[in-house]
Amino acid sequence: MHDFDHDLSNLRVTEEDTAQISACLQRLLADTGASYTMVVDRSGQILAYESDGHRPEMTHLGALLAATYASTQEIARILNEDSFRTLLQEGLREKIITETVADHWLLVVIFDQQAHLGLIKVLAKRTTGILSNVLQIAQSRPIQKRSGLSHSLLQATTDTIDLVFSDDENDDRDDTND
């Protein structure tokens, strides 16, 4: 359990937070002419997204972008940089700009050749400021303790796993000792 990032495992994003994030993404989408915007946490979980059309393959993109961010942070460390805050990936048809949001989330904007890169950079930077405020509120919210039901469910699951994967050889020895 010590390998988990404390900030990621204890952050609770409410429906209200998600609505604020979606509103930011909708405005960014409208103001830039981008085709897709999303906020992803560092583990690759998509917190919210907005799109000009249905693109089911985008659900996989969150994990890939989080991995790209992680590798880029390692490159920054090797180069003695604090971090790289903005990533730009350019293809023949589409471009992706990824901005960090207070080192916890990633703002992703996908756009085609018609959109203006400079405008997108400026508006994405403005959006990261707004999203940082939402993140700050989410981080300041006290984490609720697990309910008794969750603990009971965890205990029942553990007991079931132990029962299913119990060592039959030990069970046989236990029967012979009776």
Within-domain flag for 1: no
- Give pTM, 2 decimals: 0.73
Say if residue 27 is in the same domain as residue 110: yes
For residues 11 and 55, state if they share a domain.
yes
Span 39-59, mean pLDDT?
Answer: 85
**Do the Cβ atoms of 106 and 65 come closer than 8 Å?**
yes
Q: Which helix (H) or strand (E) holds 24?
A: helix 15-32
List the alpha helices (DSSP H) in 33-147.
58-78, 117-140
Containing structural domain, residue 158: 148-177
Average pLDDT, the chain: 81
57 found inside a domain: yes
Residue 26 resides in a domain: yes
* One domain, residues 75 and 22: yes
Would you say 42 and 66 are in contact if contact means Cβ atoms under 8 Å apart?
Answer: yes
65 or 5: which carries more pLDDT confidence?
65
Residues 13 and 95 in one domain: yes
Number of domains the chain is built from = 2
Whether residue 124 is found in the same domain as residue 163: no
22 and 107 in a single domain? The answer is yes
